[in-house]
Amino acid sequence: MKKFFLLFSFLVTIITLSWAVFFPQQYHPVSYEYIDSKNNIQLTFFGFKWETDNVRTIEQLITEFMNQNKTVNVLYEGIKGRAYFPVLERRMQTENGDDLFMINQDTLLALSQGGNLVDLSELNEINEYSALTLSQIREKDGSVFALPTSVSAFGLYCNLDLLKKYQISVPNNITEFLDACKVFSEAGITPIIANNDISLKTLVMARGMPALYQSGEATFSEINTGKFPLSTYLRSGFELLEYLCEHGYIDRKRALATEKTKDDLIEFSQGESPFMLTGVWASVRLKKLVSFQYTIVPYPVLEDGTALVVNIDTRLALNAHGKHLPEAKSFLRYLIRPESINRFCAGQASFSPMKSVSLEEPLLQAIGENLRSGRAIVGADSRFAFPIWEISRLASLSILKGATTEQALGYLDDAVSDAISGGNL
């Protein structure tokens, strides 16, 4: 056993040194200081962050926490994208849930109703969150089941070099946007790169939900009780999406096969299309791929301007059935310190969910005015009593598959009705 341990240690050392030599700018392995004790507490942290920069930040915070808490070990496991959430739900359903995990609004709706999440409303750190954040994380009874570490934003990426070549300005409203798309389409260029996940639903929301916000809180209650169809407000968004597809401004077939923050970034980086719809956080990776100038603006889909879509994101929740709740809560509190959150946000081009919002990232400064002036909507708005994020994704995908606006809206309202009555999507 001793020989095996020495051999294993030698191999780990060689691999670590090799990595540092050949990939010095990409990733620096983190050294964990585990205390050799049978009394150590092992915490598990499950999440959907898998990119190198994000994982590096998480591992650094874990290491710092363990160095301050010598009898606690923390192990992080990440799964990419939507595949994460079914795994999380299965773990919780089979009583194999992790001590701490990331969660989104749709999944929170299901898990909080089953008594699986710890109420965190008594934590003093909650007072440091912004009014927008608090409006989204507090339940009607005052309970808080998850605390966010970022506010992610979605926008229109604009290839400035290509726009300049065709003497087109960055669009500021829907007329300018559609006119620009027409110019490029007539030149034989597909104007908009879209992925099969977040591009379409956020575009639909940006177009349709501002009117819902203006209608007041009572409308949310009417939609949640089935008295008023959500399609009334999202109709304009689906009509816009169908228009873009029918005119060839979005390639239906290509968008269906395009994975977010992967295929879309590669395609946009080739410099052949003027626009791309995706999350602002993708710019962290994109700027390493492109050789042209680009900017990101809120969606120019309103007659009088733009609408910014945001999400209160990367929420952290505690397993109510965890074996080490005091230690898990201590780790959670370490992760939601302002210093920790600032490091999270800096690595993924996201706004801070705290009262003091740092806008050092130039791309955030360009879209931050919408957030300050109230021209922003929350994609996965917690005022909906159903999983709006997933329902809107599936309804939007139907347009890519050839459905009409009426058919997509029919699916939307049926899915909302089923969710309200306790059915599955």
Q: Within a domain: residue 305? A: yes
Q: Quote the pLDDT of residue 58.
A: 93
* Length of the chain as a residue count: 425
121-176 pLDDT, tens digit each = 999 999 999 999 999 999 999 999 999 999 999 999 999 999 999 999 999 999 99
**Between 50 and 179, the higher pLDDT residue:** 179
Q: How far is CA 126 from the centre of its chain?
A: 21
User: Is a pLDDT exceeding 80 seen at residue 16?
Assistant: no
Name the percent of the chain lying above pLDDT 90.
Answer: 78
Say which residues have a Cβ less than 8 Å from residue 315's Cβ, sequence separation at least 6.
102, 103, 104, 105, 108, 137, 146, 147, 148, 149
Residues 158, 145 within the same domain: no
Task: State how far the Cα of 74 lies from the Cα of 41, in Å rounded to an integer.
Answer: 8
Structure tokens at 168: 């087109």
CA–CA dist 379, 392 (Å, integer):
10
pTM for the full predicted model: 0.87
CATH code, 250 = 3.40.190.10
pLDDT at 7: 41
Do residues 317 and 118 lie in contact, with contact meaning Cβ atoms separated by under 8 Å? yes
Among 34-48, 250-264, 368-382, whose mean pLDDT is lowest? 34-48
Lowest mean pLDDT among 5-9, 194-198, 207-211, 290-294: 5-9
Q: How many CB atoms lie within 10 A of CB 1?
A: 5
Q: How many distinct structural domains can be found in the chain?
A: 2
Residues 93 and 179 reside in one and the same domain? no
Mean pLDDT over each residue of the chain, to the nearest integer: 89
Residue 14 lies inside a defined structural domain of this protein: no
Residue 346: the pLDDT is: 84
pLDDT of residue 38: 62
- Least confident span in 5-19, 44-58, 262-276: 5-19
Maximum distance among all alpha carbons in the chain? Answer: 72
Higher pLDDT, 209 or 284: 209
Task: Tell me the three state secondary structure of residue 125.
Answer: helix
pLDDT band at 362 (very low <50, low <70, confident <90, very high): confident
Residue 198, number of CB atoms within 10 A of its CB: 24
**pLDDT tier at 371, thresholds 50, 70, 90:** confident
Confidence class of residue 2 from pLDDT cuts 50, 70 and 90? very low
Does the residue 347 lie in any domain?
yes
Would you state the pLDDT for residue 50? 83
pLDDT (0 to 100) of residue 30: 39
Residue 385 lies in a domain: yes
Q: How many CA atoms lie within 13 A of 161 on its CB side?
A: 11
Helix (H, G, I), strand (E, B) or coil at 75: strand
Look at residue 14 in the predicted model and tell me its pLDDT: 42
**d(C-alpha 227, C-alpha 420), whole Å:** 11
Contact 74, 45 (CB under 8 A): yes
Q: Which residue type does 127 have?
A: N
Tell whether 175 and 250 lie within a shared domain.
Answer: yes
User: Would 24 be classed as within a structural domain?
Assistant: no
pLDDT tens for 261-296 read 899 999 999 999 999 999 999 998 999 999 999 999
Considering the domain boundaries, does residue 36 fall inside one? no
Band the pLDDT of 40: cuts 50, 70, 90.
Answer: confident
Residues 305 and 318 in one domain: no
Judged on CB neighbours under 10 Å (0-12, 13-18, 19+), 163 is buried
Distance CA 311, CA 325 (A): 28
Domain that holds residue 78: 41-151+312-358
The band of 78, judged by pLDDT with boundaries at 50, 70 and 90, is: very high
Please state, in angstroms and rounded to a whole number, the distance separating the CA atoms of residues 223 and 31. Answer: 51
**What would the pLDDT profile of 305-359 be if each residue is shown by its tens digit?**
999 999 999 999 999 999 999 999 999 999 999 999 998 888 888 999 998 755 5
Asked whether residue 2 is domain-assigned, the answer is no
What is the mean predicted confidence (pLDDT) over 57-81? 94
Residues 222 and 278 in one domain: yes
pLDDT of residue 54: 84
pLDDT reported for residue 323 = 93
Residues 220 and 319 in one domain: no
Task: For Cα atoms 365, 372, 369, give the angle at the middle one, nearest 5 degrees.
Answer: 35
Q: Mark residue 261 as left, alpha or beta (left: phi above 0; alpha: psi -120 to 50; beta: remaining).
A: left
To 5 degrees, how large is the angle CA 119–CA 121–CA 122? 105
Question: For residue range 236-262, what is the model confidence (pLDDT) as tens digits?
Answer: 999 999 999 999 999 999 999 999 989
HSE-up (13 A, CA, CB side) for residue 425: 15
Q: How far is CA 274 from the centre of its chain?
A: 23
pLDDT one-digit tens code per residue, 96-130: 999 999 999 999 998 988 889 999 999 999 999 99
My answer on whether 127 and 201 are in the same domain is no
- 205 and 86 in a common domain: no
Is residue 10 in a domain? no
H/E segment holding residue 376: strand 376-378
| Domain identity same for 136 and 96 | yes
203 & 303 share domain: yes
Residue 325 shares a structural domain with residue 271: no
**Residue 147: CB partners within 8 Å, gap ≥ 6?**
120, 123, 125, 126, 129, 137, 315, 316, 317, 332, 336
Residue with tokens 């020989």: 3
* Distance (Å, whole) CA 156 – CA 297: 5
Question: 283 and 352: one domain?
Answer: no
